[in-house]
Structure 1
Amino acid sequence: MLSDETLEILSGIDLEIKKGDSLAIVGRSGSGKTTLLGLLAGLDTASDGSIFILDRDLSNMGEEDRAALRAQHVGFIFQSFQLLSSLTALENVMLPLELRGDKNAKQEAEEFLQRVGLGERVGHFPHQLSGGEQQRVAIARAFACKPSILFADEPTGNLDTATGQNIIDLLFELNRSEATTLIMVTHDDSLAARCNSTLRLESGRVSA
């Protein structure tokens, strides 16, 4: 039997993130971290309140406009990599560039794969790459679009400690070099400590 009660996942969230800053969203499983990330990125819509990206109010935009804003200004790194198995590393990085009509897609994709240390692996498919290499392809894909904001959901969750540390070093290095605002969900307090600020959630609310 379905309840008539409203399920409140997030409440009372009030934050401002400046250009070039890095923010860690932390909290226990079920605290609302990934939900907040999805709202901030415009992947989901809030039932109340406003979210602004680059002075544009997401609540006043339709899905097509939000998708266009994401394509132009937003990058994503997912815990599960989200690479297309039928495409090579190079083609995976090129895809979002081609979708937005970038005429130099191949050159830019090759450049970023070089920067993440995969210059010799551009022709390999995801199943031919290790977990760390796949995550580096995902990072290259995200940064190749030169996003204003990068969202990362547990970017090292599927990696061993050593590989995860290398990925994080690379993430912050590229964050600094490209002046990209970084917003990440993580369970790792040591990783959160490397960000400029931390937002801790507990049962959908900001915890002190």
Structure 2
Amino acid sequence: MEMKSALTIKGLDHSVETSNGTLDILKGINIEIKDGESVAIIGSSGSGKSTLLGLMAGLDQHTRGSIELYGEKLETLDEEGRAILRGKFVGFIFQSFHLLPSLTALENVMLPNELKGEGSANDRAHQLLEAVGLQHRLSHYPRQLSGGEQQRVAIARAFASAPKILFADEPTGNLDSKNGGLVEDLLFDLNKEEGTTLVVVTHDPKLAERCDRQIEITDGEIKES
């Protein structure tokens, strides 16, 4: 049985206006990512990796071309429409964690489902924090957690709403090798258990090699290996 597409990108260009004129960040990109696949986006700093990830997730609007996420063309949606689509399908893990400092670990993980008004938010958050080995840190605030622990909370939060696709921007970039390895294991374990499509921007060759395939971006253009 052929896997259906999670994400299809055709003829994608993205440019920004600067004081020196138009800067072309992404040029002529075509990508298809299957449902349940794990894909690493690799390349040097400034090559356009994080920009591409943000466009895929609908965090910004691309200049030309088409991005289709689970049957919805992002270029046909306004900001509110893209936000609704992200709430339905997307999870996101940032390098800098982006936890809310005034909320405990448990409350941070509960937040996505509470915003949706789902009554199972507490049970789901407990389950995920146990899965990432933080059942003893439920009432701790981000400032009381190590970098590795904060990233594990961020992973649990990203999986809380059971996203169909998870975008991760340098998820091990701020971690030491031990915590980085643990976070990698968690990503792929949860990916398999939840059946989530995984798209990761990374400089870490070990993390990239664990994905089903790698897509290299150089000077804003895609080269798949």
Residue pairs, 1:90-129, within 5 angstroms:
90-129=106-145
Of 65, 74, 94, 1:58 maps to: 74
Name the SS for the 1:157 alignment partner: coil
How far residue 74 of structure 1 moved from its aligned partner, in angstroms, is 0.4
Name the SS for the 1:24 alignment partner: strand
Structure 1 residue runs of 5 or longer lacking an equivalent are none
Residue pairs, 1:24-103, within 5 angstroms:
24-103=40-119
Aligned to 1:204: 220
How far residue 65 of structure 1 moved from its aligned partner, in angstroms, is 0.9
Q: Which has the higher strand share?
A: 2
1:65-123 per-residue CA deviation (whole Å, 9 max, x = no partner) reads 11011112100111000000000000000111111111111111111111111111100
Residue pairs, 1:129-168, within 5 angstroms:
129-168=145-184
Structure 2: distance between partners of 1:64 and 1:45: 12
How far residue 169 of structure 1 moved from its aligned partner, in angstroms, is 0.6
Point out which structure has higher relative CO (alpha carbons under 8 A, 6+ apart).
Answer: 1
How far residue 2 of structure 1 moved from its aligned partner, in angstroms, is 3.0
Name the SS for the 2:129 alignment partner: helix
Total equivalences in the alignment: 207
Aligned to 2:35: 19
Structure 2: distance between partners of 1:107 and 1:157: 30
The CA RMSD measured in Å over matched residues stands at: 1.1
The question of 1:2 aligning with 2:15 is answered: no
Structure 1: distance between partners of 2:70 and 2:215: 20
Name the SS for the 2:25 alignment partner: coil
Structure 2 residue runs of 5 or longer lacking an equivalent are 1-17
Q: Structure 1 counterpart of 2:188, which letter?
A: F
Name the SS for the 1:114 alignment partner: helix
Q: Structure 2 counterpart of 1:154, which letter?
A: E
Structure 2: distance between partners of 1:101 and 1:148: 19
1:14-51 per-residue CA deviation (whole Å, 9 max, x = no partner) reads 01000000010000000000000000000011110000
Using structure 1 for the length normalisation, give the TM-score.
Answer: 0.97
Structure 2: distance between partners of 1:158 and 1:31: 20
Q: Structure 2 counterpart of 1:51, which letter?
A: I
Structure 1: distance between partners of 2:19 and 2:80: 32
How far residue 177 of structure 1 moved from its aligned partner, in angstroms, is 0.5
Structure 2: distance between partners of 1:104 and 1:84: 21
How far residue 9 of structure 1 moved from its aligned partner, in angstroms, is 0.3
Q: Percent identity?
A: 58
How far residue 12 of structure 1 moved from its aligned partner, in angstroms, is 1.3
Using structure 2 for the length normalisation, give the TM-score.
Answer: 0.90
Name the SS for the 1:102 alignment partner: coil
